[in-house]
Chains A and B, each alone.
Chain A
Amino acid sequence: MSASTLSRSTAPSKQAPRGTGSRSKRGSSKRGSSKRGGSNRGGGFASKLTVNGLLIIGSAYMVVPVLWLVFASTKNAADLYGTSAYALGNFSLFENIANVANQDGGLFFRWLGNSVMYAGVGAVLGSLISVMAGYAFDKFQFRWKDSLFGFVLVGVLIPNTATVLPMYLLASLVGMTNTIWAVLIPVLCNPFGVYLARVYSASYVPAETLEAARMDGAGPIRSFFSLGLPMMMPGYITIALFQFVGVWNNFMLPLVMLQDQQLLPVSVGISIWQGYSVPQPEFTPMVITGSLLSIIPLLVAFIMLQRFWKSGLTAGSVK
């Protein structure tokens, strides 16, 4: 079933030269596209205009809403409703940021810090857990390996939202709701990360190297931490990046689990402010500015770590 589609897609990575990492893969694809650029003929002016025109329209659709957010965050409440959307009006960005910072004694930055903490721990620790499991599935032999991996793949297919409510009920049985653990423990579980890690382990870590390490007397744990993990580092970073984004974007889990405003991540916090802004429009600029502030860290991370998310998308889904 699903396992077949997923495992079929692992094929190409395994054919990739072992131990070379994603750098060489990217290099070859770049070469491929430049070769095509070289044999560029039959591309008339009209088709060039159509293709690039459509690309520009598509990208504009993606970018304009974010640009609107940037412009809107420079306006105070009166200008927001009064002036044209992309006009500058009175430049109130810093005033808005100050309002965001001062509301409830800096609660917003507390939320931002919580998000960084939840997503950071989820990414660093959760990915390590996934990478260890994926590595074991790839490199070790043990009983029920296939059925256990099947379990993991079923886990990939269970919608998170379907487990959130029962998890809340379980957490309330043991008195863990409204604590950071109620959010931190569930986000450590990333079955898709295990699947990706298995793919990375197969393509980055040659069995011969481990074999040699074993001959030299290194135990399996030592060879994982001193050989396997460093070789899989690009894969680890990719999984961590995706997990970071996943946790940062998580909404339903913290919404259900947490009542104490001091513990909320920024996504839930902002949605509470949005609720306030319905009867009190003066909250609107704060919602907008807060939204902008909360996406800047992720935008920066994505632009800086392009190499990793691209390789992650490739390993995950491309045949």
Chain B
Amino acid sequence: MATQALTTTVRRRGRALAGTGGRTAALFLVPFFAVFAIAMIAPVIYSLVLSFHSQQKSGLGFGEAKTVFVGLENYVQVFQSETFVEGIARLGLYCLIYIPCMVGGAVVFALLLDATVAKARKLFQLLVFLPHAVPGVIAALIWAYLYTPGISPLVQALQSGGIQINFLDAHLVLPSIVNIGVWEWTGYNVIILFTALQAVPREILEAARVDGAGEIRAAISIKFPLILPALSVIMLFTIIGTLQLFTEPSIISKATASVTSTWVPNLWAYDAAFIRHNLNQAAAASVIIAGLAAVLSLAVTRLSSRMNKS
């Protein structure tokens, strides 16, 4: 509201005085929209165009390939590809394990950090944020070693306890990669949620305490509902981030054969472009991934705005 008032004054005076109108604004906006056009708009349009075309070689396969409009054929082929559908299913399963673990972990840790009896809050915040300073490639490498028998202290400890586990075999590799994601992102979201918790009015908590609500009760029925808006933003970015899953599986794929070259949709698209040299299918896959991101983020925002209203 304050901003609205603020912008109207600016507008009123802006008309009287030259210098805040379209031409000046353009000067400030052109650099951004130039790179935006190159890095976002052009690729999206180009991949749409590519995805509706196909390279066809004439007759015997000699001579120049011709580009032909094929409508939705690439999309049909992508969806008929068993490996792509498996990749989507695997990504779905990944989300189902990863999101509750990571977001749940972050909520619990933030609530613990906000509990009145918590000590050394600053130190804990720094420690928990540490993994975010570790690039995805390095995080995946560290964990790849921690999963590798012979090097890993983890496997060794479990073995001496009589438990034989291969974190990289076909059944366990998905949760193992989930763990890398949880390790990378939980701390980041703990900080966001903890900051949101700090904004919870202390009077409300004081009143609850007077009414006899214990610390846990207050955390569940007062603090948690108040950080739901922050949580919905986190969900949004988590889902977009999860769809980008590429770095971790591509690093892990060098350590084990359980992760194939088409393990998740992004790897599939990379494989289509650079190994199978079918750029049109790669483009169609990219469009599908972007479309999936659009649908899911729309769903999350709808859901969260409904939750916030009620």
Contact = CB atoms under 8 A, between A and B. Distances in A.
B25 interface: yes
Contacts of A211: 13
Interface residues of chain B: helix, strand, loop or mixed (majority)? helix
B133 A271 contact: no
Interface in B179-200: 183, 186-188, 191-192, 195-196, 198-199
Interface in B223-255: 229-230, 232-234, 236-237, 240-241, 243-244, 246-247, 250-251, 254-255
Nearest to A125: B31
A158 B143 contact: no
A147 interface: no
- Interface size band for B: 35 or more
A148 B118 contact: no
A276 B146 CA distance: 19
B102 interface: no
A5 interface: yes
Contacts of B273: 165, 168
A317 B252 CA distance: 32
B130 interface: yes
Interface residues of chain A: helix, strand, loop or mixed (majority)? helix
Nearest to B242: A159
Contacts of A306: 126
Interface in B1-48: 2-3, 6-7, 9-11, 13-14, 17, 19-22, 24-29, 31-33, 35-36, 38-40, 42-44, 46-47
B10 A319 contact: no
B131 interface: yes
B230 A189 contact: no
A126 to B, nearest CB: 8
Nearest to B109: A58
Contact of A163 (B43, B119, B156): B43
A79 to B, nearest CB: 11
- Interface size band for A: 35 or more
Nearest to B206: A39
Given A161-B243, A163-B43, A252-B266, 9 more contacts: A6-B233, A43-B117, A43-B215, A62-B127, A66-B134, A141-B14, A159-B240, A165-B286, A220-B24
Instruction: Give 6 closest A-B pairs by Cβ, nearest first.
Output: A85-B153, A136-B28, A133-B32, A166-B47, A166-B43, A319-B229
Interface of A: 1-2, 4-6, 8-9, 12, 14-15, 29, 32-33, 35-37, 39-40, 42-43, 47-48, 51-52, 54-55, 58-59, 61-63, 65-66, 68-69, 72, 80-81, 84-86, 126, 129-130, 132-133, 135-137, 139-143, 145, 148, 151-152, 155, 157-170, 185-186, 188-189, 191, 194, 202, 207, 211, 214, 219-221, 224, 245, 248-249, 251-252, 256, 267-268, 270-271, 274-275, 278, 284, 287-288, 291, 294-295, 298-299, 301-303, 306, 309-310, 313-314, 316-319
